[in-house]
Amino acid sequence: MRIDAHQHFWLYDSQRDAWITEEMSTIRRNFLPNDISHILKNNHFDGAVAVQADQSHQETRFLVELAQVYKMIKGVVGWVDLRSPQVEQYLADFAQHDIIKGFRHIVEGEQDADFLTTDAFQNGISQLTKYGFTYDLLIHPRHYASTLACVRANPAQKFILDHMAKPAIRTKEFDDWALFIEELSACSNVYCKVSGLATEAEWSNWRVEQFEPYIHHVIRCFGKNRICFGSDWPVSLLAASYEQSVQIVAENLQDFTAEELDMFWGINASKFYNLK
């Protein structure tokens, strides 16, 4: 099964979705599975993982409802208030929906560098482990240290790094990011999505070769059995078509065997998220 491990869907709301700024007008509209289903089929994908874009329990229920209608959604990564004293009850309720595979918090928007290691958040992570849910890491460089501390403190929890931690391709920064990737990949409970790359370069002036050192470093560090593809559609449309997002990655997998390609394009994501 060929899987896009990272897509978003929303009914655009100017207040709720204020993060979509004027320069991002391309995505200031509704995006639903019907808008991508034929593109997935044309690119030989069997389905996708729908990932939260809003931090509310309503968002999680919205994605579950979409999955009940659109079979192309193979799994949901929702949002839950991991810092709430009621987090266990929330997770017990969400566990009734098999389509929910895990959760994510937009940590990159948190100014607290130690957000991931606060007592309340750590309690939430322990509850995810108890219920068998995964956790998507969306972080900013200021969270490197706490991310490493978090995953090391929770070796039984399954983590996956979104967008390769968003390397600063636009400004060609590499060393600090590369060291972080090396240290994080040493934790066997962490996978990595090769996703969302074009938007980290100059949106209208990127070249495929710019992504090579970043993608190859992730492959070297995580190996070929803990990485998977994600488009980050429709956010990716700010800088690239769906086909270009695929091309950016595909051109850096030239030494993969047929079996390794199958793992990258679907098997690894299916294993991580327990997709069916």
Task: Enumerate residue ranges in the chain where pLDDT < 50.
Answer: none
Q: Provide CB contacts within 8 A for 242, sequence distance 6+.
A: 36, 39, 43, 231, 233, 236
Q: What is the pLDDT of residue 121?
A: 98
> Can you give the three-state secondary structure of the chain, one letter per residue?
CCEEEEECCECCCCCCCCCCCHHHHHHCCCECHHHCHHHHHHCCCCEEEEECCCCCHHHHHHHHHHHHHCCCEEEEEECCCCCCCCHHHHHHHHCCCCCEEEEEECHHHCCCCCHHHCHHHHHHHHHHHHHCCEEEECCCHHHHHHHHHHHHHCCCCCEEEHHHHCCCCCCCCCHHHHHHHHHHHCCCCEEEEEECCHHHCCCCCCCHHHHHHHHHHHHHHHCCCCEEEECCECHHHHCCCHHHHHHHHHCCCCCCCHHHHHHHHHHHHHHHHCCC
**In the chain, where the domains are located:** 3-273
Q: What is the pLDDT of residue 128?
A: 98
> Which tens digit of pLDDT belongs to each residue from 170-189?
999 999 999 999 999 999 99
Q: What is the pLDDT of residue 97?
A: 98
CATH code reported for the domain at 3-273:
3.20.20.140
> Which tens digit of pLDDT belongs to each residue from 239-255?
999 999 999 999 999 99
